[in-house]
Homo-oligomer: A and B are copies of this chain.
Amino acid sequence: MRVEIRALIAEVDRALERYLPAEEAYPEEIYRAMRYSVFAGGKRLRPLLTLAAADIYSIPRQHALPVACALELVHTYSLVHDDLPALDNDDYRRGRLSNHRVFGEAIAILTGDALLTLAFELLARETAHLFPAATVVRLVQEMAAAAGAAGMIGGQVVDLLAEGRKVDAGTLDYIHRHKTGMLFSCAVRSGALLGEPSPGDLAQLNSFAEHAGLAFQIADDILDIVGDLEVLGKKPGSDLRKQKVTYPAMFGLAEAKRKATETLNSAKAALAPFGDKAGQLLVLADFLVNREC
Binding site for B on A (CB under 8 A): 21, 25-27, 29-31, 34, 77, 81, 84, 86-87, 104-107, 109-110, 112-114, 116-118, 120-121, 123-125, 128, 132-134, 136-138, 140-141, 143-145, 147-150, 153-154, 156-158, 160-161
Contact = CB atoms under 8 A, between A and B. Distances in A.
Most buried by B among A77, A104, A153, A161: A153
A268 to B, nearest CB: 31
A114 B149 contact: yes
B124 A21 contact: no
A261 to B, nearest CB: 31
A136 B141 CA distance: 11
Please tell me how many copies of the chain the complex holds: 2
Contacts of A26: 154
Given A27-B158, A133-B137, A137-B133, A153 B121 contact: no
Contacts of A136: 133, 137
Given A112-B113, A120-B120, A133-B133, 13 more contacts: A29-B157, A30-B153, A81-B110, A81-B113, A84-B106, A86-B104, A86-B106, A107-B157, A109-B109, A110-B157, A117-B149, A121-B144, A124-B137
Nearest to A119: B144
11 contacts: A26-B154, A27-B157, A29-B161, A87-B110, A109-B109, A110-B160, A117-B153, A120-B140, A124-B144, A128-B134, A133-B136
